[in-house]
């Protein structure tokens, strides 16, 4: 297993606080897949305005976190180092549960198709083994 801490992640993808949504990568294979985690705390900036009476992580930020994990897989390939992975599309996205403060979110993105600078990843976010978000993410490397 290949582990990446936050500083190593920042060497691969350009995101920074408050928009870096991955705390660590548990395992990855360049160009194939990545498995990462987001440890959600009540101090996240988005909780101030997203249902303050019942804090819930916005679904779109969960999709972004999945894309960042996928970007680690894609941008860790030698030929993509120093580039940026952009969203090309979001398909088949389903929100199946909430993410709340205290949750440790497992983020998994598997690259299922890649041709030239474009590709598709199957992505799932889960909490305690229960899938809370799934989506098919299209990316472009530039």
Query: In 10 A of CB 44, how many CB atoms?
Result: 17
Q: In sequence order, which residues have a C-beta less than 8 Å from that of residue 5 and are 6 or more positions away? A: 24
The candidate with the shortest Cα–Cα distance to 18, out of 58, 75, 74, 70, is 58
Task: Spell out the alpha helix ranges (H) of 23-58.
Answer: none
Residues forming the active site: 50
Chain length of the chain: 142
């Amino acid at each position: 297993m290949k582990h990446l801490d936050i500083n190593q992640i920042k060497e691969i993808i350009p995101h920074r606080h408050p928009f870096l949504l991955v705390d660590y990568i548990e395992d990855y294979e360049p160009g194939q897949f990545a498995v990462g985690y987001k440890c959600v705390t009540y101090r996240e900036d988005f909780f101030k305005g997203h249902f303050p009476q019942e804090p819930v992580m916005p679904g779109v930020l969960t999709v972004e976190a999945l894309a960042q994990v996928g970007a680690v897989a894609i941008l860790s390939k030698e030929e993509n180092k120093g580039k940026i992975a952009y969203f090309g599309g979001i398909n088949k996205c389903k929100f199946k549960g909430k993410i709340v403060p205290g949750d440790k979110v497992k983020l998994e993105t598997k690259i299922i198709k890649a041709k030239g600078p474009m590709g598709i990843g199957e992505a799932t976010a889960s909490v305690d083994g229960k899938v809370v978000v799934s989506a098919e993410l299209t990316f472009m490397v530039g």
